[in-house]
Structure 1
Amino acid sequence: MANQGRWGRDLLMLSLLLGALFGYGLGERALWSPDEGRYAEIPREMVVSGDYITPRLNGVKYFEKPPLFYWLQSISIKLFGVNEWSLRLWTAVFAWLGCLAVYVSARRLFGRRAGLVAAVVLATSLLYYAMGRIITLDMAVSVLLSCSLLAFLWGTLEPVGPQRRVAMWAFFVFAALATLTKGLIGIVIPAMVIGSWMALVNEWRILKSMYLFSGVALFLLIAVPWHVAVSQANPEFAEFYFIHEHLQRYLTKHRAPFHKAWAFVPVLLLGLFPWTAFLVQAIHHNLPLSWRQRQQHKEAVFLILWAGLVFVFFSVSSSKLIPYILPMFPPLAILIARYLAAAWEKEDWAGIRSGYWVFLATSLLLVVVGLATAPHYVEGYSDAAKLAGSMYAVAAVLVLGALATLILGRHFGFRKAFLSMTATAVLMLIVMSGSLLLFDQSRSVKSLAGVLKPRLRPSDVVASYHAYYQDLPVYLQRRVTVVGWRGELSFGAGVEDVSSWIVDDAALWQKWNGPATVYILVDRERYEKLRARSEHKFYPLAQTDFHVLLSNKVGPTERRHSMAPHGLARFRFPYVLPDGEETREENI
C-alpha cells in the first residue's frame, strides 16, 4: 500500500512539474511557417467545413499525413478557439505524456530512482523540449511509438494472463494510433525493433503469448477505417499516400548536405544536450559484457536496439528532417537514467567525473560557436540588440551552470551535481524559449495579418506572392490566393480545379487592375523588384523587417497619421505622381 502511495505521489509531482515546464509561455510566440501554420490550418479547415475525412490545406487536398493529430487539434479549436495556446496544447500534452510513460516504464524496469531521473533527462533534453512546444506531428508519433514499444516490453515481463494481455493490447493500440498520426512508421518501427530483439535474444516464443489475433484485430479496427473512407472519397489518395509519400520519399536521393548519412550524428549529440555528457558511459554500462549475458540483460538490449535501429533507419532514408530521430530519445533517457541511478550513491565514478568535464567543454564550445555565428542569425533584424542580449544570457547560463556542476560534483558528490545540471538545463531552455519571440517577424506574418484582418471584406482578395505564408490563412481565418507557387500544394492542385485561388502572375495583375480590393503579402526583396520594374501602382500598408503588405487601393485609413502595431515599421504611403515623374514614398 505504501508503495502504491509513493507511485501516486511521484506521478502527481511529475505531472505538475512537467506541466509547468511544457506549459510555460506556450502561447506567447506566433505560429511559425511552414510547419506550425500548416498543422494549424488543416484542422481549422476541418472545423469550418465539417469534413474530417479529407484533409485540406488552403482549400487544396493534402494527403501527406493521416488525420489523428488534425482531429485532436480540431477538438482544441472547438474548445478554446484559434490561438497559439490551443493549437500547441496537444504537442505539449504529448511531451508531458511521454515523460510520464518513461517514468512508469523505467521504474518498472530499473527502480524508482531510475524512473524519476529518466523523466528529468527526457524533459530537459534540448530537442525533446523544443519539439514539445512546436506544432508538428513528430512529438505525437514519437510518444505513441514509445508507448507502443514500452507496452510490449512491459508485457514480456508479465506472466501469461490478464496483465500481459492488457499490455500487449496496449502495444497494438498505440501502434495503430502512431499509424494514424504519421503513416506506416507506426508499423515499420515496432516490427523492426521487436523482430530484431527476438532474433538477437532468441525469444521467438513470445509470439505465442502476444495475443496476436485479438491484437491485430484491434490494430485494424483503429487504423483501417479512415484509410478506407478517404480512399473511397478520393480515388487518387492510395497511390499518392502509399507510393509517393512513403516509398518514393524514403528512397529518393537528395543532394543537400543534411541528407548525408551522418547528418543525424550532430542532431543527436546536440538534441540530447546536456545529457550527451553521459551517453557513451550509459551505453557501455547497459551493454552485456558478453554474448552469453544478453539473456540476462534483455530489457537493456531492447532499449539499445530501439535507439540504434531508429537512428539507422532514418540515417539510411533519403528524406531527413531534424525531428525524425525523436523516437530514440525515450529509450536513451531510460538508459542514461539507469546509469545515473547506479552512480547516485557512489562516491567517485570515473565516468561521472568525465561527464562533468564533457558538459563544461560542450557548453564552452556551444557558447563560442553561438557567439561567433550570432551576426549571421541577427542579420536583417531591427531589434538585433535584443537577440544578441538573449544569446549572451544563454551563454552565461551554460558556462556558469557547467562550472557549478563541476565544482559541486567534485566537492559534494553526484546528487548535488545532478541537481545543478538539471537546473542549468531548465534555465537554459526557458531563456532560449523566451528569446524565440524575437524571431517572430522572420518566421511569421502574424503582425501583418493583424493589420489586414480588420480591413477585410468578404469580396476582398488576399494574395501570397511567390510564396505561401502558411500562418496567414490561420490568422485571417480564411483561404488566401497563392500566386506563382505550388510546392506541397502541387498534388492537390492537380486533381481538382483550384484555379480561382492558385494562380499565376497574369491572373493576379488582372485582378489587381480590376475593381476589387486586392492585398498582397510579399517579402521585401521581391517587393523592391516589383516596385522597380512594375507598371502597377502599389500602396504599402505596413511592413516588418522581412515582409511588406500592399494594396491596389488607397483608403481613408492610409490618409490618417497612424502608428504601426508593435513590431512593425511605420506605415508607408506612396503618392503616385503623373507619368514621367518619380514615385516617392513618404512616412505618414
Structure 2
Amino acid sequence: MADRAHWGRDLLLLTLFLGLLFGFKLGERPLWSPDEGRYSEIPREMVASGDYLTPRLNGVKYFEKPPLFYWLQSLSIQLFGLSEWSLRLWTAIFALFGCLAVYTGGRKLFGQKSGLLASVILATSLLYFAMGRIITLDMSVSILLTCALLAFIVGTGEPVGTRRRLILWAFYIFAALATLTKGLIGIVIPGMVIGLWIALMGEWSLLKKMYLPSGIAIFLLVTLPWHILVAQANPEFLNFYIVHEHFQRFLTKRRGPLRQWWIFIPVLLLGMFPWTVFLIQAIRHNLPLSWRRRRQHKEALFLILWAGLVLVFFSASSSKLIPYILPIFPPLAILIGRYLAAAWDGRHLPGIPSGYWIFFIMSSMLVAAALMPGQRYLKGYSDVARFTLSVYTLTSLLTFGSLATLILGRYGGFRGGFSALTLTSVLFLMVLNSSLMLFNQRRSVKELAVALQHRLRPGNEVVSYQTYYQDLPVYLQRRITVVGWKGELDFGARVEDVSGWMIEDAEFWQKWNGPFTVYMVTSRARYSKLLAQSGRQFYLVAQTDYDVLLSNKGNPTELRLRREERPAISPGFANPPAKEAM
C-alpha cells in the first residue's frame, strides 16, 4: 500500500513539474516553417474537408508519413480551436508522457531514485526540451518507441502470467502506434534492438514467451486498416510510401549540412547538454565487468544497445536530420539516472566531480562561441540589440550556474551540485525559449497573414511566389496558389490535377495583370529583382525584415510602386527592404 502511495505521489509531482516546464509559453511563438506549418496545415485540412483517410498539404496528396499524429492534431483543433497552443499541445503531451514513461521504466528496472532522476534528466536535456515545443513527428514517434521498448524489457522480467502478457501486448501496441506515426521504423528499430539483445544474451527461449502470434495479430490489427484503405483509395500510395519514403529516402544522399557519418555524435553531445557531462561515466558504470557477467546486467545492456543501434542506424542513413536521434535520449537518461542515484545514496564516485568540471568547461566553450562567432552571426538580424541582450543573459546563466555547480558540488556534496546543475538547466531553457521569439520574422509570415486577413474578400487569390510558406495557409485557413515551386508537393502534383493552384510564372502574371485582386507573398530579395526586371506595378500592403505582402490592386491610401521606385538596401537587413506604403 505504501509503495502504491509513493508511485502516485511521484507521478503527481512529476506531472506538475513537467506540465509547467513543457507548458511554459507553449503558444506564444508563431508557427515556424517548414515543419510546424506543414504538420499544422495537414490536420487543419482534414478537419475542414472531413477526409481523414488521405493526408493533403495545400490541397495536394501528401503520403510521406502515416496519419496518427495528424488525427491527434485534428482532435486538438476540434476541441480547442485553431491556435499555436492547441497545435503544439500533443507534442508537449508526448514530451511529458515520455518523461513519465522513463520514470516508470527506470523505477521498475533500477529503483525509485533512478526513475526520478532519469525523468528530470530527460526533461531538462536541451534537444528533448526543444523538440517538446516544436510541432514535428519526431517527439511522438520517439516516445511511442520508448514505451514499446520499455514495455518489452520490463515485461520480460515479469513471471509468466496475465501481468506479463498484458505488458508485452502493450509492447506490440506501442510499436504499432509508432509505425502509424512515422512508418516502418516503428517496428524496425524495436526489432533490431530486441533481436541483437536476445542473441547477445543467448535468451532464445524468449521467442516462445513473447506471445508472438497474438502480438503480431495486435500489431496488424492496429496498422493494417489505414494502409489498406488509403491504398484502395489511392493506387499510387504504396509505391511512393514504401519504396520512395522508406528505402530510397534511407539510401539516397541529400544536400545539407548533416552529411558526414559522424555528425550525430556532436549533435548528441550538445543535444543532451548539460547531462552529457555524466554520459561516459554512466555507460562505464552500467557495463558488466566481463562477458560472463553480462546476464547480471541484461537490463543495462539492453538500454546501451538501444541507444547505440539507433545512433548507428541513423548515422548509416543518407538522410539525416537533427531530431532523428531523439529516441536515443530516454535510454541514456535512465543510464545516467542510475549512475547518479548511486551518488545520491552517498556512494563516492570519482566521475561526479569530473562531471562538474566538464560542465564548467563546456559552458565556457559555449559562452565563448556565443560572444565571438555568435555576435558576427547576429549582425544579419535587424534587431541586434535584443539579440545581444538574450545572448548576454544566457551566457551569464551558464557562467554563474557552472561556477555554482562546482562550488556546491565541492562543499555541499552531490545533492548540492546536482541541484545547482538542474536549476541552471531549467533557467537556461526558460530564457532560451523566450529568446526564440526573436527569430519569428525569419521563420514565420504570421505578421503578413494577419495584415492580409482583414483585407481578403471572396474571389481574392493569395499567392506564394517562387516558394511555399508552410504557415501561410494555416493562418489564412485556406488553400493558397503556389507559383514556380513544387518541392515536397511534386509527387502529389503529378498524380492528380492541381493545375488550378500549382502554377508557373506565365500563368501567374496573366492573373496579376487581370481584373481580379491578387495578393502575393514573397521574399524581399525576389521583390527587389521583380522591381528591377519588370515594368509591372505593385502595391505594398505589409512587410517584415525578410518578406513582403504585395497586391495588384490598391486603394487611395497605398502607394503604387513602379519600376523606377526601387527600394534601397538598409543596413542591418539580411535582404533589401521594400519601400513603405503611404
Q: Normalization by structure 2: what TM-score?
A: 0.97
1:90-101 → structure 2 map (5 Å cutoff): 90-101=90-101
> Counterparts of 1:278 and 1:484 in 2: how far apart (Å)?
50
Give yes or no for contact 1:347–1:413 (8 Å, CA) kept in 2. Answer: no
* AA in 2 matched with 1:549: L
In the alignment, what sits opposite 1:529? 529
In the alignment, what sits opposite 1:25? 25
* AA in 1 matched with 2:95: A
- Listed one character per residue, the Cα deviations across residues 14-51 of structure 1 (whole Å, up to 9, x for unaligned) are 00110010001000000000000000000000000000
> Counterparts of 2:566 and 2:396 in 1: how far apart (Å)?
49
In the alignment, what sits opposite 2:560? 574
In terms of mean alpha carbon deviation, does 373-382 or 414-423 score higher? 373-382
1:127-142 → structure 2 map (5 Å cutoff): 127-142=127-142
Give yes or no for contact 1:380–1:545 (8 Å, CA) kept in 2. Answer: no
> Counterparts of 1:214 and 1:482 in 2: how far apart (Å)?
48
In the alignment, what sits opposite 1:226? 226
In the alignment, what sits opposite 1:80? 80
- Listed one character per residue, the Cα deviations across residues 260-291 of structure 1 (whole Å, up to 9, x for unaligned) are 10010111000000000000000000001100
> Counterparts of 1:185 and 1:348 in 2: how far apart (Å)?
41
Cα deviation, residue 582, structure 1: 5.7
> Counterparts of 1:291 and 1:376 in 2: how far apart (Å)?
52
In the alignment, what sits opposite 2:571? none
* AA in 1 matched with 2:485: W
In the alignment, what sits opposite 2:316? 316
SS at match of 1:277: helix
- Listed one character per residue, the Cα deviations across residues 26-84 of structure 1 (whole Å, up to 9, x for unaligned) are 00000000000000000000000000000000000000000000000000000111110
In the alignment, what sits opposite 2:572? none
* AA in 2 matched with 1:430: M
SS at match of 1:455: coil
1:377-396 → structure 2 map (5 Å cutoff): 377-396=377-396
Change in CA separation of 1:575 and 1:266 when aligned onto 2, cut-off 3 Å: closer
Mind listing any 5+ residue stretches in structure 2 that lack a counterpart? 568-578
SS at match of 2:373: helix
Change in CA separation of 1:360 and 1:544 when aligned onto 2, cut-off 3 Å: same
Cα deviation, residue 576, structure 1: 4.8
* AA in 1 matched with 2:123: A
Aligned residues: 571
> Counterparts of 2:257 and 2:83 in 1: how far apart (Å)?
36
In the alignment, what sits opposite 1:539? 539
In the alignment, what sits opposite 1:53? 53
> Counterparts of 1:192 and 1:582 in 2: how far apart (Å)?
63
Give yes or no for contact 1:283–1:304 (8 Å, CA) kept in 2. Answer: yes
In the alignment, what sits opposite 1:340? 340
* AA in 2 matched with 1:574: R
In the alignment, what sits opposite 2:176? 176
Cα deviation, residue 587, structure 1: 5.2
> Counterparts of 1:60 and 1:373 in 2: how far apart (Å)?
42
In the alignment, what sits opposite 1:568? none
Mind listing any 5+ residue stretches in structure 1 that lack a counterpart? 560-572
SS at match of 1:549: strand
In the alignment, what sits opposite 1:298? 298
SS at match of 2:519: strand
* AA in 1 matched with 2:429: L
In terms of mean alpha carbon deviation, does 525-534 or 33-42 score higher? 525-534
> Counterparts of 1:257 and 1:249 in 2: how far apart (Å)?
17
* AA in 1 matched with 2:490: S
Cα deviation, residue 535, structure 1: 1.7
In the alignment, what sits opposite 1:497? 497
In the alignment, what sits opposite 2:266? 266
Cα deviation, residue 388, structure 1: 1.2
Cα deviation, residue 175, structure 1: 0.2
In the alignment, what sits opposite 1:37? 37
In the alignment, what sits opposite 1:565? none
Change in CA separation of 1:347 and 1:302 when aligned onto 2, cut-off 3 Å: closer
> Counterparts of 1:583 and 1:373 in 2: how far apart (Å)?
33
Cα deviation, residue 387, structure 1: 1.1
Give yes or no for contact 1:118–1:334 (8 Å, CA) kept in 2. Answer: yes
> Counterparts of 1:200 and 1:582 in 2: how far apart (Å)?
73
- Listed one character per residue, the Cα deviations across residues 95-154 of structure 1 (whole Å, up to 9, x for unaligned) are 000000000110111111111000000000000000000000000000000000000011
SS at match of 1:341: helix
- Listed one character per residue, the Cα deviations across residues 341-369 of structure 1 (whole Å, up to 9, x for unaligned) are 01113364210010000000000101111
- Listed one character per residue, the Cα deviations across residues 315-336 of structure 1 (whole Å, up to 9, x for unaligned) are 0000000000000100000000
Change in CA separation of 1:349 and 1:259 when aligned onto 2, cut-off 3 Å: same
Give yes or no for contact 2:356–2:409 (8 Å, CA) kept in 1. Answer: yes
Give yes or no for contact 2:145–2:186 (8 Å, CA) kept in 1. Answer: yes
Change in CA separation of 1:41 and 1:376 when aligned onto 2, cut-off 3 Å: farther
Asked if 1:513 is matched to 2:513, the reply is: yes
Asked if 1:14 is matched to 2:23, the reply is: no
* AA in 2 matched with 1:318: S
* AA in 2 matched with 1:232: Q
Cα deviation, residue 583, structure 1: 7.0
> Counterparts of 1:74 and 1:301 in 2: how far apart (Å)?
39
SS at match of 1:51: coil
In the alignment, what sits opposite 2:160? 160
Q: Cα RMSD (Å) of the superposition?
A: 1.2
Cα deviation, residue 372, structure 1: 1.9
Give yes or no for contact 1:374–1:388 (8 Å, CA) kept in 2. Answer: no
Give yes or no for contact 1:131–1:139 (8 Å, CA) kept in 2. Answer: yes
In the alignment, what sits opposite 2:247? 247
Cα deviation, residue 586, structure 1: 5.8
- Listed one character per residue, the Cα deviations across residues 445-472 of structure 1 (whole Å, up to 9, x for unaligned) are 0000000011111211100011100000
> Counterparts of 2:434 and 2:263 in 1: how far apart (Å)?
28
In the alignment, what sits opposite 1:467? 467
Give yes or no for contact 1:106–1:334 (8 Å, CA) kept in 2. Answer: yes
Ranges of 4+ aligned residues in structure 1 off by more than 4 Å: 581-587
In terms of mean alpha carbon deviation, does 415-424 or 366-375 score higher? 366-375
* AA in 1 matched with 2:296: Q
- Listed one character per residue, the Cα deviations across residues 452-506 of structure 1 (whole Å, up to 9, x for unaligned) are 0111112111000111000000000000000111000000000001111001111
* AA in 1 matched with 2:427: L
Asked if 1:199 is matched to 2:185, the reply is: no
> Counterparts of 2:498 and 2:291 in 1: how far apart (Å)?
61
Change in CA separation of 1:415 and 1:554 when aligned onto 2, cut-off 3 Å: same
In the alignment, what sits opposite 2:209? 209
> Counterparts of 2:205 and 2:521 in 1: how far apart (Å)?
62
Give yes or no for contact 1:65–1:181 (8 Å, CA) kept in 2. Answer: yes
> Counterparts of 1:583 and 1:378 in 2: how far apart (Å)?
27
Asked if 1:409 is matched to 2:409, the reply is: yes
- Listed one character per residue, the Cα deviations across residues 400-437 of structure 1 (whole Å, up to 9, x for unaligned) are 10100000001110001111100000000000000001
Cα deviation, residue 225, structure 1: 0.4
> Counterparts of 1:379 and 1:554 in 2: how far apart (Å)?
35
In the alignment, what sits opposite 1:281? 281
In terms of mean alpha carbon deviation, does 252-261 or 435-444 score higher? 252-261
Change in CA separation of 1:469 and 1:327 when aligned onto 2, cut-off 3 Å: same
* AA in 1 matched with 2:326: L
Change in CA separation of 1:303 and 1:79 when aligned onto 2, cut-off 3 Å: same
Give yes or no for contact 2:47–2:74 (8 Å, CA) kept in 1. Answer: yes
> Counterparts of 2:431 and 2:377 in 1: how far apart (Å)?
17
SS at match of 1:539: strand
In the alignment, what sits opposite 1:562? none
Change in CA separation of 1:546 and 1:200 when aligned onto 2, cut-off 3 Å: same
Give yes or no for contact 2:541–2:581 (8 Å, CA) kept in 1. Answer: no
Q: Normalization by structure 1: what TM-score?
A: 0.96
SS at match of 2:258: helix
Cα deviation, residue 257, structure 1: 3.9
Give yes or no for contact 2:531–2:566 (8 Å, CA) kept in 1. Answer: no
In the alignment, what sits opposite 1:570? none
1:84-123 → structure 2 map (5 Å cutoff): 84-123=84-123
> Counterparts of 2:107 and 2:130 in 1: how far apart (Å)?
25
In the alignment, what sits opposite 1:457? 457
> Counterparts of 1:57 and 1:576 in 2: how far apart (Å)?
35
> Counterparts of 1:149 and 1:217 in 2: how far apart (Å)?
18
> Counterparts of 2:347 and 2:380 in 1: how far apart (Å)?
52
SS at match of 2:372: helix
Give yes or no for contact 1:102–1:119 (8 Å, CA) kept in 2. Answer: yes
